[in-house]
Amino acid sequence: MKTFILFLSLISCFAIQSQEFKPYKVKSGKITYEKLKYSTHSVYKYENGVETGFSEQVPYVAEQVIYYWDEFGDIAFEEIYQVSKFGGKLLPEKVKIAERLWVDEHRYYFNFDENKISDDPYYLRIKCRENIQYYQVIDSWIETLYMGTEKSGSKEILGKQADYYNISKYHDIYAWKGLVLKDESFSTRGSNGPRNTIERAKIAVKIDTISVINKEIFNPIWLKRERLYQSLNNQKIVELFDGRQDVLFQADNINGFRVIKNDILLFVTTKLAVGKLQILNIDPNQITIKYQLYNNNGFELDARNSYKIKDSSLVNMDKITYKKSTNTELDFKYEKSIIIPQNNISILLLKPSRTTELEIKKYVRKH
C-alpha cells in the first residue's frame, strides 16, 4: 500500500512539474527589439590610375518588435511593427503588422492585414513535456532546443552580460538569463562554406524588468473573438436561435443591415442548413469572409477560412462557388457593406461580436 501511495505521489510531482515551463530567470518584463535587414551597397574607388571596387552590407531597421513576458516566460506576447520599406526607406509612421502569443502548447500569430489567426504547436514545450522534465535538466531552453549547443563566451548588451551561443554557421544567439538579446543570421559561401555576410539580425535596444505588466495583454481581443467563433457549432447556433434572441439582431428582409469588420453572423439557408460567418475585411469592391455550414445532424457541409464576395453579388451559401443559382436558392445579396436576406431566410448579427468582452452570458429563464 505504501509503495502504491509513493507511486501516486511521484506521478503527481511529475504532473505538476510538467505544467511549469518557465524558461527565463526573470519573472516578467518588456524588451524592445529592432529587426535589421541588410542591403548590399557597391563602392568604387579610383586611386593612382587604378579602379578598385568592393561591396558592403549596410543595415537598416525593417521592423520594431515589443516583447512582453510573465511568470518567468510561461506566457509571452509580442507586437510587430513595420518601420521601413524594402531597402530602408522609412515609413511616415510605424504600422502594426502582427501580434504573437505563446501560451500553453500554442503559438498564436495574428496577421492584421489579413485579419487571420494561425496556431502552430509550441514544439519546445511539447518536447519538454514528452520527456517529463523541462529545460531545467540542462539549465537552458536554448541548449534544449538546439541540442549539442553550449555557451562559449559572453558579451555585454544593454548593461547585461549575455551568454554567446554559436548555434550553427548560419546562426548566433546572445541570451541573458534565458532572454534573447541578440539573434543574428548569416549567409555562407556554398552549403559547406564559411560565413559570408550577415543577412538579418534582431537586437534588443531597451529592456524593462521593473514596470508591472498589464496581464490583459496576454488575452488579446482577436483570440477571444476566435474562441467565440470556434465555440459556435451546429448545436450552439440552434440553441441561440431558440432561446437567446437577446444576443441576436435579425436583418430586415427588405433593407438588410450594414456589416462591419469582425462581425459574426448566424444564418439559415434556403436548404435549411445552419451556418456562421465572420467578416474578415471590407474593401470598396468586395468583402472577405470565413464561414462554416452544418446540416441538421451537425455534420459540416462546407467551410472556408477565406472567401471573397464581390460587390453587388447574390450568394447561395449552400453552393457558394457555383456560378449559377436559381432565384429560390439565393440566401442574401451583398452590396456596399449591406447584407440583404433573400427568400425570407434568417440572417442574424451576433451582438457580442461587436463588443470587447465577446461573451455570451448564461441564459436564465424568467419565471
- Using the structure block, give the residue that is written with the C-alpha cell 557597391: 42
Q: Looking at the predicted structure, is the pLDDT value of residue 259 above 90?
A: yes
- Structure confidence at residue 50 as a pLDDT band (50, 70, 90): confident
Cα–Cα separations (whole angstroms), residue 56 to 1, 22, 28, 85, 196? 73, 41, 39, 20, 11
Q: Is the pLDDT of residue 18 over 70?
A: no
CA distance 172 to 198: 11
Please say whether the beta carbons of 181 and 160 come within 8 A: yes
Least confident span in 25-29, 62-66, 318-322: 318-322
Residues 136, 140, 144, 145, CA torsion sign: positive
Position 307 scores a pLDDT of 96
What residue ranges define each of the domains in the chain, with the CATH number in brackets? 21-218 (2.50.20.10), 221-354 (no CATH)
Query: What mean pLDDT value characterizes the chain?
Result: 87
Question: What secondary structure letter does DSSP report for 297?
Answer: T
Cell of 86: 524594402
pLDDT band, very low/low/confident/very high, at 272 (cuts 50, 70, 90): very high
Beta-strand pair 257-258/338-341: antiparallel
Cβ count near 81 (within 10 Å): 16
Q: Could you tell me which residue, 134 or 352, shows the higher pLDDT?
A: 352
Query: Phi/psi of residue 228, each to 5°?
Result: -65, -45
Grid coordinates representing 219? 488575452
> Dmax of the chain from CA atoms?
101
Q: What pLDDT is recorded for position 364?
A: 45
pLDDT band at 54 (very low <50, low <70, confident <90, very high): low
What percent of the chain clears pLDDT 70, i.e. is strictly above it?
86
